[in-house]
Amino acid sequence: MKYPYTIVDVFTKERLKGNPLAVVFDADNLMDDQMQEIAKEFNLSETVFIRRPKTERHLAELRIFTPGSELPFAGHPTVGAAVLLGLKMRTSAIRLEEQVGTIVAITEKTSKTSGHARFGLPEIPHFVEAAPENARIADTLGLDEGQIGCGELQPAVYSAGVPFVLVPVAHAAALSSIKLERRGWSATYNGVSAQVYAFTVLNNDRGAQFAARAFVELASLDEDAATGSAAAALCGLLSDLYYDADGLTDFVIRQGVEMGRTSYIEAQIRKEGGTLTHAGIGGHAIVIAEGTLNLEDPLIA
């Protein structure tokens, strides 16, 4: 009843930046409630559990938990787990089973303790429903109504497995000035998602084309340092309203700056005949800690 684990910082090349992730190996004997309790113990935005795959040609099954619930898909656990499995198994092509579907990740080793992974989304990002009115969104974010929207971009709910209320704001200063108003949050975001991904266009940044902030977990409205599932949803909105040309388009989203955890999420879309046919997410990850979970206490095990 001992389980090895690794902590990695994801969507960054630097330790103590990016989004930290706990990866628990050999987790086949853990029950759902145990995995949930372990995720609560780590108290990171997500903990991923690596288990034997259901299909022989796949490398692993991933179960992804926040401290409060299980997720069908998340980008930063997928990148972090893929990098670690690539380092451990010395392979560059990894097939992973998640609840949202099978994910094929391509990994590259950059050092003994770091690497890069990218993967195509198993679910094409798509429009889900209209967002709340701009005035109501502005109230929840502590902004003026005129700061909601960025050029032709307007709020909408999109999903690539996990729905997000995508909220473009006028500029980087507006993004940085967001101050959440918790009262009225659930009344405003009473559709399919109460998770908000605020973003803006960066015109003079060499490292990224967009900047973003994510507010997740309705009970606590925690800010997340790097949110791959939200970036995946954003691929759908940008394909519909921002990137008009057919072919491949690569872009980078910067997140976590306001938290002191700067992250860079790589994204890619491909359009054919004006239709989004492919979207992908990628980024770097680096090992920060390793250890062993001891669950031999019969009260826990």
Return the H-helix or E-strand segment holding 211: strand 210-216
Phi-psi region of 18 (alpha: psi -120 to 50; beta: other; left: phi over 0): left
Phi and psi of 258, rounded to 5°? -65, -15
DSSP annotation of 160: S
Return the H-helix or E-strand segment holding 267: strand 263-272
CB neighbours of residue 102 within 10 Å: 15
Alpha carbon 74 to chain centroid, angstroms: 5
Q: Cα(58)–Cα(94) distance, rounded to whole angstroms?
A: 7
- Distances in Å between the Cα of 48 and the Cα atoms of 7, 96, 148, 243, 265 are 10, 12, 34, 33, 19
3-state secondary structure of 238: helix
The one catalytic residue in 14, 37, 41, 46 is: 46
Return the H-helix or E-strand segment holding 286: strand 275-294
Q: Cα(174)–Cα(176) distance, rounded to whole angstroms?
A: 5
Strands (E), the chain: 2-10, 19-24, 47-51, 60-65, 70-71, 93-98, 101-111, 114-120, 126-130, 156-159, 163-168, 196-201, 210-216, 222-224, 247-255, 263-272, 275-294
**In this structure, are residues 288 and 7 in contact, taking their beta carbons and an 8 Å threshold?**
yes
Q: Is 46 a catalytic residue?
A: yes
Which residues fall within 8 angstroms of residue 220, CB to CB, at 6 or more apart? none
Would you please indicate which residues are annotated as catalytic (active-site) residues? 46
